[in-house]
Amino acid sequence: MIGQERLLTRIDKMIEAGFPRFTIICGNKQSGRKTIARYIAKALDAHLINSDIKVDDVREIIDLAYKQTEPIVYLLADADKMSPAAKNALLKITEEPPRKAYFIMTLQDINNTLETIKSRAVILNIDPYTPNDLIQYAELKGYNLNKEEEDIIINICTVPGEIDLIVRYNILEFYNFIETVIDNIGIVNGANAFKIGQRLNYKEDDGGWDIGLFMRAVMYICRKKMDINPISQYRDSIQITSKYLSELNITGINKASTIDMWILEMRGIWRNLYIKEKRDNSAII
């Protein structure tokens, strides 16, 4: 386990004092929520069971939980998408916890669960990872990174899981593609610009690039370029990207259309500069 010293110390103290039957681990995707759950199960000397979050599965584990004679930890991962019926079924366990079973739910946003569940659970928040933590994780995983790649990782990735993703994409290829996008988004025609969206991952198994990583990479590259060439277009691009990055977190938002809007706005910023440059050049001739 890399980083999270404060959280792990808190968990150790909780285990000494008697670990709560119902816990929520809150943090971004790939931030190590399941690793924390495994750590808890190990410390409790209990089996860890990954459960589905469908209502039938929740009801089944509740039935089983009351029959357990050995300590057992049920993990309800990514419960943000849990149906209201499943959440209500889970309420029973929070009211009358079984003697030998522990429930751990992982969420991205604490507001994606019922107030009644929230008020009965102990909430553990994943702390942000420091650049050192991230580099340490990459070293531990055996990724042989040069200085440039390390810089990219520190500035783009926020959680360890994202390092695995970006290494899988090929860090420099990913970076160079985004740099090309920023340089050319105002020059290419609209149909071509919309192709950027085809490279991204809108659903779990789409296989494209992670949208969050992509957007953060855009902001990082603009920031870097602004240091060399301080034109307002880079600042505007960072603002627009940041705006759409936060909109992507709205529950149920159409990610593909959000990216389309980002493309349109970015084109708007860079197209004006391109047209102005073209006009200036023709005036000189």
Partner 1 sequence: MQLYELKEQLLKKILQPLYIFTGEEMAVANIYIDKIANIMNTKPIRAESVASIYGKLQNKSLMNKANCYVIRDDKEYLSQDKVWDNLNNGIVQGDNIIILLYTNIDKRSKFYKHHSELLTEFNKLTPQVLAKYIKKEIGLDFKYGEQLAELCNCDYSRIMLECDKLKHLAAARNCDIHIAYISAIKEKLIYAEPKDVIFEFIDAVCKREIKRSYKLYDELKAIGENPLAIISLLYTNFKSILLVQSAGEGVDIAKRTGLTPWQIKLAKEKGIHYSISDLVRAIKIIRKTEKEIKTGNIEQDMAIDFILVSILFNYIQ
| Identified binder of partner 1 from the candidate list 110, 172, 231, 250, rule CB under 8 A | 250
Whether 77 and 50 have beta carbons less than 8 Å apart is answered as yes
**Residue 198 touches partner 1, criterion: CB under 8 A:** yes
Q: What is the DSSP string of 27-70?
A: --TTSSHHHHHHHHHHHTT-EEEEE--SHHHHHHHHHHHTT-SS
Residue 36 CB, nearest approach to partner 1 (Å): 31
| Identified binder of partner 1 from the candidate list 130, 176, 257, 272, rule CB under 8 A | 257
Cβ neighbours of 175 (radius 10 Å): 20
| Identified binder of partner 1 from the candidate list 17, 191, 283, 285, rule CB under 8 A | 191
DSSP single-letter state for residue 159 = S
Who's near 234: CB < 8 A, 6+ residues apart?
Answer: 222, 223, 225, 226
Q: Which positions from 161 through 190 interact with partner 1, judged by CB under 8 A?
A: 189-190
**Pairing mode, if any, of strands 47-51 and 72-76?**
parallel
Residue type at position 174: F
Residue 247 CB, nearest approach to partner 1 (Å): 7
Q: Which is nearer to partner 1, 124 or 259 (CB)?
A: 259
Residue 267 CB, nearest approach to partner 1 (Å): 9
| Identified binder of partner 1 from the candidate list 205, 229, 252, 285, rule CB under 8 A | 252
Q: Dihedral, CA atoms, 267, 217, 165, 28, nearest 10 degrees? A: -100
**Residue 195 touches partner 1, criterion: CB under 8 A:** yes
**Pairing mode, if any, of strands 22-26 and 47-51?**
unpaired
Q: Which is nearer to partner 1, 133 or 260 (CB)?
A: 260
**Residue 56 touches partner 1, criterion: CB under 8 A:** yes
Q: How many alpha carbons lie under 13 Å from residue 275 in its C-beta half-sphere?
A: 7
Contacting range for partner 1; rule: CB under 8 A; set: 23-31, 36-44, 148-156, 251-259: 251-259
Q: Which positions from 110 through 169 interact with partner 1, judged by CB under 8 A?
A: none
**Residue 6 touches partner 1, criterion: CB under 8 A:** no
Residue 27 CB, nearest approach to partner 1 (Å): 23
Helix 147-156 crosses helix 211-228 at what angle (to 10 degrees)? Answer: 120
Contacting range for partner 1; rule: CB under 8 A; set: 9-17, 137-145, 224-232, 260-268: 260-268
List of residues contacting partner 1 (CB under 8 A): 56, 189-192, 194-195, 198, 247, 250-254, 257-258, 260-261, 264
